[in-house]
Amino acid sequence: MNKFRFFFIFLSAFFIVSCDKDEDEVSERFRFLTGVEWESEELLVNGVDSSGPGELLEDFKGTVKFNEDGTGSFGQYSGTWQFAKEETELVITTEALAFPLTTKIDELTATRLRVSTGFPNPMNPQEQFNIQMSFKSK
């Protein structure tokens, strides 16, 4: 009997968690992120502009669009995105990068998006670059 009760509780929890959200249940952060196109404003590595030709963040320069279906374009990249850690992080996955890029959301309003992350230095994997990216609504 205990096994049956445990299974029923597990099954009930699974259905509750896996149900799709209604449109009314979409968070404000989701609406802010997907409601506009974003234009890169500041792309910094260790506090220095890194958006120029040959620089680390050059390909993130331009327009960023987070689509409601979890796809998007991120400058020159395209791929998928998702929230993580209760919508305090963004995870961007693209074939152009060897692994998903996880960023902390420092600010997200209807007109401004700021994210930050650490990224391994390709020349010295023991060292990490501090990356900050700011975008304004278009």
pLDDT digits (tens, 9 = 90+) for 4-25: 344 444 434 444 444 544 556 8
Q: Of 55, 52, 54, 77, which is closest to residue 64 (Cα–Cα)?
A: 77
CATH architecture of 26-137: Beta Barrel (2.40)
| pLDDT band with cut points at 50, 70 and 90 for residue 120 | confident
pLDDT digits (tens, 9 = 90+) for 66-104: 999 999 999 999 999 999 999 999 999 999 988 899 999
CB neighbour list of residue 128: distance below 8 Å, 6 or more residues apart = 118, 119, 120, 121
Strand partners, 40: 135
Q: What is the pLDDT of residue 99?
A: 87
Q: Which of 77-86, 117-126, 127-136 shows the lowest per-residue confidence on average (mean pLDDT)?
A: 117-126
Average predicted confidence (pLDDT) for the chain: 87
pTM for this entry: 0.79
Q: What is the pLDDT of residue 113?
A: 98
Q: What is the pLDDT of residue 13?
A: 42
**Rounded to 5 degrees, what angle do the CA atoms 89, 70, 42 make?**
50
Ranges of each domain in the chain: 26-137
Distance, CA of 69 to CA of 79 (rounded, Å): 11
* Class of residue 54 by CB neighbours under 10 A (exposed 0-12, middle 13-18, buried 19+): exposed
Distances (CA, A) of 33 to 84, 119, 126: 14, 23, 33
